[in-house]
Structure 1
Amino acid sequence: MGVLENKARARTFYKYLSKVYDQINPFIWDERMRDEAIAMLDLSPDDRVLDVGCGTGFATEGLLEHVDTVYGLDQSPHQLSKAFEKFGKFGDVRYHLGDAERLPFKDNSFDAVWSSGSIEYWPNPVDALAECRRLTKPGGKVLIVGPDYPNSTVFQKMADAIMLFYDEEEADRMFTEAGFEEFEHHIQQSRPGSPRAITTIATVPE
């Protein structure tokens, strides 16, 4: 388990990262990648969407171009504070401080659950994926974006020491253990040589 796959350490990490997150994020996860992933959800304006690990609101902003209201959840009060500064006053985002492994919503609450740049910090990703599935209505979608496992042995060792990086085979295992049966993976990258993202979209059975 990587050093940041610990909730307390991750909160401390984001306490400081939140100050520069919006400047750093586009080098890894840019608007084009975000919008390509959102298109996979095929959203309607009245869909209820949850953004798990919403951070400072980068994905939330993109989701609001497609739906009327987004529910944002994050374990970092510092990240949520930044997000609230952007969107909280407009009433179309409802923020919750919480844990991805114990999501504070009823079963079948959402048409879609989205999470980008969060799974790598989850100590128990299968449990959190099962929570995402629990909250999603039958026929709804769950979309998760995480860091693809590096090809280089040196970078693999570095990745393993920091947080969760995973390949398609590992994603297959996690989603299957979380109860998903229908899912597919897409590799996204902002530019040649930049870190790759593995984007998985899963459908909850009718």
Structure 2
Amino acid sequence: MTSTSMRRWSSTVKFLGRHSAFRQADSGSQQMERDQGNSSRWLSWLGILSDPARLRMLRLLQKEELGVGELARAIQMPQSTVSRHLKPLHDGGWVVRRSEGTASMYRMIQEDLPAEANNLWNTTLNQVDLLNTFRNDDDRLREVVNERPSDTRQFFGARAGDWSALRQQLYGGAFTDEALLGLVNPEWTVGDLGCGSGDVSERLSPLVRNVISIDREAAMLDAARNRLSHLSNIDFRAGELLALPIDDNSLDAAVLMLVLQHVPDPLDAIKEVARVTRPGGLILLVDLVPHDRENYRFTMGHLHMGFDQVEAASWAEKVDGTLIYRRLHPDTQGQGPVLFAASIWL
């Protein structure tokens, strides 16, 4: 969320509120009585729309009817916070509520709003710059809706359950994901660059011939080396991402998992990775899409606020690569921003 934009909008709201109050005080008593209802309603609307959480909630409820838990997962807030915001929204007529069993479902029906409230809502959306926040909310909303069991899924799911249970009983539940990993060439040498605790290296090790794991932090590298000492095909090396201790064209593929946020100039890093990756090889980048978590700069040492497809395409172009970029489906139980995966084929 753009804090400057929100501060500007909140200041505007407060100014309008004061202005309305001054007008009320300066009027005669008869005029004040006549306008009191309208002024009170106008001030109430301004108060509702001055809160960014309520803006996000209303925007999603305009798109989809949601329960409290669903809305909480979509905007990554506690259910208690969402419930607290829903009360004034419902009391003020911004959302309608219906019961579904023991649950309450909420929806914003813009056509039912008074014309003045409708205009204020549209003005607010146009004035507040929350594009990245809104887009991430939309991604999570799709996942929340997709998690709902539809009538069709329930109908066929009940009849497919016997087969699913039998397959689970015979083969377990993990074989599908592992089988799909067979698409990775077992002869490859793969670089896990910025390997950290070695999670990616651990997953790659059974699938490829060799893994070269690089990290600049000696303590992190030692911990990964000790934890994965039973895996003989992982070569741990200390080194910087901008000066990799790897010969030219040595890798068939390279993985940078949540690394670029910590690099001052990501393009410099990608050029260095391209140097050590053979022609026809693959660079896989997994990182954050543009987001509003400015506190990550201080709590996690991030130097960037995410990367979009346009920026990733410029990296690919500079190393004569072909880009495949996709936003990853967000885990509705997660609390961080949405991630992307960008494959650069050299």
* Pair in the same fold by TM > 0.5: yes
2:341 aligned with 1:199: yes
Query: Paired residue for 2:232, among 65, 79, 91?
Result: 91
Q: Is the 8 A contact 1:148 1:196 kept in 2?
A: yes
* 1:176-187 mapped onto 2 (5 Å cutoff): 176-177=317-318, 179-187=319-327
* d(CA) in 2 for partners of 1:134, 1:142: 11
Q: Is 1:131 equivalent to 2:131 in the alignment?
A: no
Map of 1:66 onto structure 2: 207
Query: Structure 2 matches for 1:70-85, cutoff 5 A?
Result: 70-85=211-226
Matched-pair contact (CA < 8 Å) for 1:147–1:166: yes
Distance (whole Å) between structure 2 residues aligned to residue 147 and residue 42 of structure 1: 25
Contact 2:189 2:251 in 1 (8 A): yes
When structure 1 is superposed on structure 2, of 187-196 and 42-51 the one drifting more is 187-196
Name the structure 2 match of 1:118. 259
Which of 92, 108, 123 is 2:249 aligned to? 108
**1:185–1:201 contact (8 Å) kept in structure 2:** yes
Percent identity over the alignment is: 25
Q: Which amino acid aligns with 2:196?
A: G
TM-score computed with the length of structure 1 as normaliser: 0.71
Among candidates 281, 289, 297, match of residue 148 of structure 1: 289
Aligned to 1:16: none
With over 3 angstroms needed to count, the CA separation of the structure-2 counterparts of 1:147 and 1:98, relative to structure 1, is same
Name the CA distance, whole Å, in 2 between partners of 1:91 and 1:63.
Answer: 12
Q: CA deviation at 1:186?
A: 1.6
Describe the superposition over 1:94-140 as per-residue Cα deviations: whole angstroms up to 9, x where unpaired.
01111111111111101111110111111121111011111111111
Structure exhibiting the larger radius of gyration computed from Cα positions: 2
In the superposition, relative to structure 1, how do residues 171 and 101 fare at CA in structure 2: closer, same or farther (>3 Å)? same
Count of aligned positions: 164
Greater Cα shift, 44-53 or 83-92: 83-92
Deviating beyond 3 angstroms after TM superposition, the runs of 4 or more aligned structure 1 residues are 156-162
Cα RMSD between the aligned structures?
Answer: 2.5
Shift of 1:173: 2.1
Contact 2:316 2:322 in 1 (8 A): no
State the AA in 1 paired with 2:231: F
CA distance in 1, matches of 2:321, 2:189: 22
Aligned residue type for 1:187: R
CA contact (8 A) 1:108 1:136 kept: yes
Q: What are structure 2's unaligned runs of at least 5 residues?
A: 1-173
Q: How far, CA to CA, are the matches of 1:95 and 1:190 in structure 2?
A: 31
Q: Residue by residue, what CA displacement relative to the aligned partner does 1:29-61 show, whole Å, maximum 9, x if unpaired? A: xxx9xx79x95x942222111110011011111
Q: Is the 8 A contact 2:205 2:231 kept in 1?
A: no
**TM-aligned CA distance change 1:79 to 1:160, over 3 Å:** closer
Within 1, Cα distance between the matches of 2:330 and 2:211?
A: 25
Greater strand share, structure number: 1
- Three-state SS of the structure 1 residue aligned to 2:271 is helix
Secondary structure (helix, strand or coil) at the match of 1:123 reads coil
Q: Distance in 1 between the 2:203 and 2:330 partners?
A: 16
Corresponding position of 1:28: none
Q: Counterpart in 2 of 1:57?
A: 198
1:126/1:175 contact within 8 Å kept: no
Q: Larger relative contact order (C-alpha < 8 A, sep ≥ 6)?
A: 1
Write the letter of the residue equivalent to 2:225.
F
